[in-house]
Structure 1
Amino acid sequence: MKSISFFNNKGGVGKTTTLYHVGFELEQQGYRVLFVDCDPQCNLTSHIFDLEIIEDIWNAEQSSIYDAVKPIIKGSGDVDFIQPKKVNNRNIWIYPGDLLLSDFDSILSETWTQVLARQERGFRVTTAIYRLYTKFAKEYEIDFVLIDLGPNLGSLNRSLLLSCDHFIIPLIPDLFSLRGSQNLGRTLSNWVEEWQDSIERTAIDPDFIIPQSAPKFSGYIVSQFNEYGRKPVKAWVKWEKEIPKYIKNFVYEPLSKSKNIKSEPDIENQYKIGQMKNYNSLIPMAQTALKPIFELTSKDGVIGDHHRYVKDCKTNYTNLVLRIIENIQ
């Protein structure tokens, strides 16, 4: 099982849309996929289920990611190992998101001081969601756990980034998206150092598995570019050229220092794993149909030149998934 977080400190970069399509493409290639929707905006969940199903999930009170950690929030126990919801006719499962998950963020902020003080409760709370999805993934032979995170460097995202095997950065070629990457590597490096220092000095029950917190940066995806005459527009090209420099200076190098890596990588060739178009009107069409863009048909409203975009989307995500698999080996 490989766990991968999709993260950017800047919102509106196509993070959830990309993760969703990667998950469905992985499933089409024969893998078993578990989504974990830890963005309180719940966009991933709303990509998969209609509002009636989401309402039923929240009313059931033992179905969403929030329900799993509710005993911790209320101070009544440990994580509740609930089952995720299976997507009909797919080898895909999801721990649905919940707006109330933001309540867990404040708890994680408080318990981080317990981690630094090397108290066992801090480790148990910080690893709650990790232990939830890991237990299910092992029992159901899940190949990929894909974790959707909100656009911030808060306590919830800290706990999830520290527990995952890999993280991927979706971004768009503009000043704001690049600016949002500038504190990512430094912050994550500090978190890793603090976490590893704490677990090395703590005596914890050997049956309690703690992630070693060495999340590997496994690539970036440039998304939402527009075309004119089947070529990227000039404004996109200008900022796209800046991306490798930002990734090198603000992601790769801070993380490499914490791991004593001294090699000089070819950032663009090694870490640029995909370049996705802005599919414009096909995105809401796919959301309405509750399916990926590359599965849309004429029955869903695809007409004219949109058929080419659907085909291109399939090719792009097939290639992207192959690069992701290559980079996480």
Structure 2
Amino acid sequence: MAFAVSIPRIRSLPIEKLAFGGPMSTRIAIFNHKGGTGKTVSAYNIGWKLTEHGNKVLLVDGDSQVNLTALALGFDVFDKYYEDDSTKSKNIKDGVSPVLEGKPSALEPFDCPSAANNPNLFVLPGHAELAAYEGQISLAQETGGTLSVMKNLPGALQAFIGMIEAQHEIDYTLIDLNPGLGAINQNLFIASDAFIVPTNPDPFSLMAVGTLGNHLVRWMNWKDANFHKFEDADYPLHASRPVFLGTLNSRFNKHASKAARKFDERIAQIDEQVEQRLVPTLQAAGMTAKPECYQRAFDEWKDKLAADNKGLHALARIPDFQGLIHTANLADLPIFKLDDTALKADNIQGIVKEKAVRNIESFDVIYEAIASKIEMLASNDCRI
């Protein structure tokens, strides 16, 4: 497909090559090329739970819809952030613009805002025009470093994220990708150390899981073939091999109905597709953790999670948030942190409140399981 793209002219910058990010930061991409799988809400809730384990966490909003930024900052603060002259340029697009637009200046990190009510959950805000760089990055990756004026482009996003990680001493970075197969997603994916695949109980999610492995391996093959071509760039590629941590079976309707049984069947089919197609494809490319680690993660939490969480590579099955999502948005809190004050503010009382409290406790266990599994599976001990 032909497209018009301006080729930025990048001057040779007198900057010191840095080990961007460093060993403290573990980057995790949350990605499925099928939309509507709950990736943004999952990133926010998982990130928050990881901070409860004593970690500093960075949420990177790589989706031009900017939903993660709005969710984490709170919708009132979100509007002000992009209107205020002191903060509106502190976002992922403007952060990498010196390289992507060929400006005679180096990348520079900035202080990221913290999520509402959580000083250890940082947000690298997204931008609605990030997709405008799709053409430049695509062309730079297609030419594989043969054009010197474009040599810094493929490594710019990862380098900038690394600078932010170093500035805030980040332990885990969660990158929310858009549901597509473009160059920006490829770029962010190959800049990650691990990845999670959110799914939804519908036929399109089932199809997506069946083909996802081929796309991810193709992206990784590009990195393998071209990594050395960018080693002398001011911003080289991230030296990593993304490892599959597991799936999230999200938005499962627990109501006892024919529809719920259908959802249950669909999730079982997704689990089977993961075992028969996705994992073998990724395993052959060296993009999985040690088999015994998946088994240990499953065994350690199988008695604490619902009995219908049967997939070996499923981090957890996440029920529909239903009305609690409204309460959580009002309180600027994740589902599992809702308390009496938050419930009262949303006029949740009586029997409805009793049910809500039980659901909140259940969500706390689910996200505790997810965070604990992530910490184990993403560790060096579980890397092959």
Query: Normalising by structure 2, what TM-score?
Result: 0.77
Question: Equivalent residue for 2:111?
Answer: 83
- Stretches of structure 2 that go unaligned for 5 or more consecutive residues are 1-24, 296-309, 380-384
Amino acid at match of 1:199: F
- Aligned partners of 1:208 and 1:69: how far apart in 2? 11
Superposed displacement of residue 211, structure 1: 1.4
Query: Residues 65 and 95 of structure 1 are in contact (CA less than 8 Å); yes or no, is this contact kept in structure 2?
Result: yes
- Aligned partners of 1:202 and 1:54: how far apart in 2? 36
Question: Equivalent residue for 2:245?
Answer: 218
Q: How does 1:181-200 map to 2 (within 5 A)?
A: 181-200=209-228
Question: Equivalent residue for 2:38?
Answer: 14
Superposed displacement of residue 74, structure 1: 2.9
Question: Equivalent residue for 2:54?
Answer: 30
The answer to whether 1:179 aligns with 2:207 is: yes
- Aligned partners of 1:232 and 1:217: how far apart in 2? 30
Query: Residues 100 and 153 of structure 2 are in contact (CA less than 8 Å); yes or no, is this contact kept in structure 1?
Result: no
Question: Equivalent residue for 2:368?
Answer: 318
Question: Equivalent residue for 2:345?
Answer: 300
Question: Equivalent residue for 2:325?
Answer: 283
CA gap of 1:282–1:15, structure 2 versus 1, over 3 A, is same
Superposed displacement of residue 244, structure 1: 2.6
- Aligned partners of 1:87 and 1:159: how far apart in 2? 25
Q: How does 1:87-106 map to 2 (within 5 A)?
A: 87=115, 89-106=118-135
Counting aligned pairs with the same residue, the percent is 25
Query: Residues 114 and 121 of structure 2 are in contact (CA less than 8 Å); yes or no, is this contact kept in structure 1?
Result: yes
CA gap of 1:198–1:73, structure 2 versus 1, over 3 A, is closer
CA gap of 1:251–1:30, structure 2 versus 1, over 3 A, is same
Aligned residues: 326
Is the partner of 1:245 in helix, strand or coil? Answer: helix
CA gap of 1:118–1:224, structure 2 versus 1, over 3 A, is same
Amino acid at match of 1:149: L
Structure 1 stretch 289-298 or stretch 273-282: which is displaced more? 289-298
Superposed displacement of residue 286, structure 1: 1.1
Superposed displacement of residue 6, structure 1: 0.6
- Aligned partners of 1:128 and 1:260: how far apart in 2? 23
Q: Which has the larger radius of gyration?
A: 2
Question: Equivalent residue for 2:255?
Answer: 228
Query: Residues 225 and 232 of structure 1 are in contact (CA less than 8 Å); yes or no, is this contact kept in structure 2?
Result: no
CA gap of 1:125–1:83, structure 2 versus 1, over 3 A, is farther
Amino acid at match of 1:48: A
- Aligned partners of 1:208 and 1:13: how far apart in 2? 33
Superposed displacement of residue 250, structure 1: 3.9
Superposed displacement of residue 291, structure 1: 1.1
Superposed displacement of residue 232, structure 1: 9.2
Query: Residues 118 and 199 of structure 1 are in contact (CA less than 8 Å); yes or no, is this contact kept in structure 2?
Result: no
What do the CA deviations read for 1:92-134 (whole angstroms, capped 9, x no partner)? 11111111111122221121123x2444554521222211121
What do the CA deviations read for 1:57-96 (whole angstroms, capped 9, x no partner)? 3233421112112223432145442332123552111111
Is the partner of 2:179 in helix, strand or coil? Answer: coil
Is the partner of 1:168 in helix, strand or coil? Answer: strand
- Aligned partners of 2:54 and 2:41: how far apart in 1? 20
Query: Residues 74 and 329 of structure 2 are in contact (CA less than 8 Å); yes or no, is this contact kept in structure 1?
Result: no
Is the partner of 2:209 in helix, strand or coil? Answer: coil
- Aligned partners of 2:220 and 2:136: how far apart in 1? 20
The answer to whether 1:309 aligns with 2:354 is: no
Query: Residues 244 and 287 of structure 2 are in contact (CA less than 8 Å); yes or no, is this contact kept in structure 1?
Result: no
Superposed displacement of residue 231, structure 1: 12
Superposed displacement of residue 224, structure 1: 0.8
Superposed displacement of residue 46, structure 1: 1.1
Structure 1 stretch 219-228 or stretch 105-114: which is displaced more? 105-114
- Stretches of structure 1 that go unaligned for 5 or more consecutive residues are none
Is the partner of 2:129 in helix, strand or coil? Answer: helix
- Aligned partners of 2:287 and 2:49: how far apart in 1? 35
Superposed displacement of residue 256, structure 1: 2.3
Superposed displacement of residue 325, structure 1: 1.4
- Aligned partners of 1:43 and 1:250: how far apart in 2? 31
